Structure 1
């Protein structure tokens, strides 16, 4: 319950910081708990009970004390009732929402922007303090101009970054507008859109906005296309067998408004597997029907995952408004024997040839892929039952142009292929593999049974990396500095040290602050990343100071390998030769990266630094290569993870795993391996350990576990190139590695017969599985476990249920374009069913009309206490001026009401008044004293009243002195004085003489009583005179 007391004629002016006039608003007072105001009846009771109790204070002080107490009680009651100020504003805020999705032509987007700018210019009332704002949206929404009290700037185009615009998300735009509105004004949104939503639902949000008092106007955008061509799909059979001919069909739709005129163009169909692409069809065709179907015969001889792509290119561009819907993809898988993909370092081709031949001798098909020609989609990986990373580093190469690395997306594909699709994943060791190859802190490390970082302080596997960042003059220099710093930090382990030097207003300094240069990464990783995200290095004038700081800190750091990286344009003053010599003598190598260098001189400076200290020199012409370079160089500090003890080491069987089943108990010696740390999980199994080092968690040679739907394994040594030389001549070489690969591979055989098919319908993928046994009888009541993976590599829920005998169905939403992969597990020990579905393009590119019913629904919403919105006619160049006549700043909306609690101030004021009550009761103050003092200063002469008072006081003072003298005399008269002893012959004579003398000097009683009576008379007269003086003074007042 709330009671509002409005000051009808009261107005308050609010002044904006821009010094423009703001709106006038009514000021009111409201109470959150008005029933507590009844406590005000206690104030009269306070007076009745306290008036007599305070009588001793006098009349004035008693009234003051009661007044203070009443004010304290009143303020306390107001605070308890929740007193508030209420402002009712006449301001209006209008925010325009502009649809920037791909379904709206660019020309119309410019018209929409001009409409918003001119509408604000014509109708916004500056004196009222109206505000305007602009929000643009596609797949996401962004604020182009926040609401402020001025016209929208005249701009040529939208500047906000919206990311992908292949969808319309009006819901996100409405939510953003509602959050952006100020509270002190009436609110209205003006929506300019075609109304075709492909993401979210605007209706519930619009309803909530209307209930909150926000008005909604709508300006429709027409989508009427004269002609449009749409490649709907490629229809592939559900069960394609190896070597069996089949028919695929391409379905193309033609939309026209001006009749049935045929559209002529070229139709292409390509089939792709890995990096190999084959053109199956390339010919001119004529689209003479609304729906055109083109059948094509094909045969697939090799098991693999195949991607088909069909594309139609019209001869006349006017026949097709959108090009994004002219392509369609389809995916199919041909099953065969188990296949393995082995990825090797492109700098060492054929290094694992012996392993490849050993697997092929064991009847395992192996495809070899170089690290500079990697897969580009999850669909390519799905064709393989196991992937082997054969001693390959994450980044490799010696020049900026020749560096190849696994991107974050490719690493994610490898992990998802195991976790969700069930493929095996094996990592083989080597000098540039595992933690020594830059794989730490990646999704790959999470999928492996071991960590690639050493957390044991007893093992001296510590490196130190210093970085000097000076790249601010390249395009987006600060952005790339943050990227490369974080990329290098990802490679470092928790025991490693890292430091970053930058140039700022105080000169060269460590990014971590103070004198702390090289810090251990483990406990500081999160803080380091945070600092890197906020750093803004300046233009460094001289290399020498920064290099001296780095040298001093690196020398003092307890690390076995130390390295430094400099990124610069080469413009700073070159360092002295002496400091480069000190780096070399301390075995600290410096690698340099030249970006946007200032001519040959800059290149020479950076190249000399790298050459003198033994580092690498890079010239980066593309900033995108910088993170790869820094990851490559940061790997140098991971070299302590390579463990090569003198005399080698003896691997030992430690667990009866099926990988080592049938092998001899004694394994050949190894010359070394890469140190790792076992994950703390009961699922991890360690079939082979090393005899040393002594720490069990770092003795792992072979570790395995199950990860999601698949299996992963790590063999920390190589397969014969450097450390396992004795293994290549070992009789169990082929058996061991073939058993390792077969254990990791997903099952490829099944006693049952399964077929799986997918169908894309209205943004949804339907999955159908048919199950038969060997006798072609239906398999019922199976517990099928299924999962789908979207183009963004994120899992999608997929539940399979039995719909008929031997038939199981499921579905998942597919709202984005791209390839969707499906994996169905029929049961334990049975081969998984893998398939795919392709959504050729977003719903944004389908041929549709303006969704007028939905727009009418939005405009028809009526806010409480207001009127419904306005639906205009469609906006185009011809109707622009007419639409501008409509006032978007009109009334018809509830006025904005803003409140501010003032009860805290009541409590503060009550505390002050309480102190006043205490002061009045405890302290008696002569309130006339200041006036008297002032009058005396202004008139130095005494007034008659003051002279009389002074004379009386002087008389009293004289009388007091007289009485004091008489009292002193009386005291002197009664004072005892000792007598001199009389001379005599004996003690008795002297005593007799003393006694007689005392008797003679003893005073008699009557004189003493007369003296006391006289003294009492003096005191009484003195008191009487004082009282008389006080009465006279009071009468004169």
Structure 2
């Protein structure tokens, strides 16, 4: 038994008890000492009881008392028959489960409570008999959040709380997820029961997704989702000013269908598009169309700088055909400040010699991308790379790739440092030997090859020599046998000493190990090797390899690090690594680009059918950049990254009639470059994209992103919100990042809404939310995902049986019972006893007492 008290200050009153005892010892009454002692005990007990009562003690009684609240959705989207069945189920379950407390509530836009089971059925039956057009305003909306919060208030205190939520799960106002914290805090388990949608045999346009801002004469995608409750032929259309822009015939069915239609606007400004569904058999016309607002801007301008002016027409024509406005320029005419480049959405370089640009112009390009959010694309050409190109320049820092120093020389020396410790026994050592032999086969006769095998010591199975004697070298590699422990440092140092004496201009080490080694100054050793122009690549084989050390060695040695789980991959890696290290930077052999990462800009482009490119320049990808197209040797062909506010792209082949001769005739050439430029460039004018308004149920989420070109922000921008009746409200935004501000408002009547804001440079931006039809007229199947999530997050059950709702899951509650009334009653009883003891003499001092009562 657990007893708690509210106050502790009455404890000080205990000092009165000794006083009572002191007084009784000096009593002048004629009672005997025994009776006076008895009276004092009674009075002391009365004081104790009163003191304890003043402390307001409570007895925390543990037990299981069950409070159940039923929430029944009566909105227009719910099937009347399903709601009636649910109301009957409420009556049956309550009578059978016999909870200690129950409450039934119906809800739509608001809630109504019922204490009578029969009244629930009557109310729901009345709604079921009403036609859709005559339903109450309350049925025209579903606010699950409000309903759940109202239900939380009616639970009986100090009882196990179970909320039975019967709904289709489609909320048109509020957000049920926002109420989950309250439910968890109050320990309310939600048992969710999906209801069927109202079935009218209807079809409707459920959703439309399209860009907020498009470019004049530029086709844009409009994604439409339609749903139906019957199989019937239908047509989906996109209209502007009552003219059909695109249409698609479909067979309407009970399954959601998504399709993409095309829009194309020819006038600058704001436009209203209507997506309309025309079905052969349709019940309701109100939900057959959705309206959307779009802003049309001028063609984006790009600046194209071609190193060979006679070839610039290839790309220019392709981009103009794709809806871009192209200005051409020479390297000499490029401005020396970023602000002069700001009118352009992107700048394209193609085979521009580095010595044709000054450092000031390069810095202007860098600032244009990082500070103004512009796009920069550099396409290949031998004038742009190597020692005579942009290596270590401002533009190299801007791009997602690193330029190699210059064309690699033909002289090449390779030493393979091979782990032959006991852990390599079996398949590992055999495949490592085969890998070393594969590297020998890749080398030219005049290249040099050496092999250092190591355990806790080292030896040279193959001293550094010409690779022409291949069979003898392979036989020597075959003699390597595993033994001993792993010690990498001496072997790596031996390889360093061996390559120092080589006259080859390109020197490379491949280190393979599958274990952990002794600590040493690896960084110092490998740094010396790099300074001596000896590169080091590493292969970490298996789980036990020291992956961190080997990766660091590859980084310090300016090579590549490989991690191998499947030892069967080792021969291929050795051959590939040897080929990459030995060949020149300028790769002029036909190849077909391989898609490394599928991205939006590749949509509609079939690289499998593309003709080969005739060459490219070998580069290295920077750590935080991503390769989208690669060669067969894993060299980046198309790479991109974010640079400040803008994006930079490198295409290591070219755009003209040197390496892209066959591409110029390929139908995908124009599409590839147009989509690449559009994905890289800044918006045609980011001012138009500064304001974003997204609707979620009855909330509008507003974002204002101030573009650099609009100037500096001195105060958070305000947004003017105008509803259809002309009433305007000013909305204050709050800063969420350096140049981004946000606000959220609850939308009022079912009407068009317009939002406008003024940017720092005085330009106005506007967005509109257009009203189409009540969201309750979307008769979707139950939102099972939401209902399952709510049940899971609150400890309830989805689609429970009656037994699950009322079952004893071991959860207990505590009921506080106030003890002070009982203490006061007992004290009163003892007080009466004390009064009686004052009148009755229980103990006599002598035997000749006249009467038992004292006057």
User: Shorter-chain TM-score: what band?
Assistant: 0.3 to 0.5
Q: Which has the larger radius of gyration?
A: 1
Q: TM-score, normalised by structure 2?
A: 0.40
Q: TM-score, normalised by structure 1?
A: 0.34
Higher relative contact order (CA 8 A, sep 6+): 2
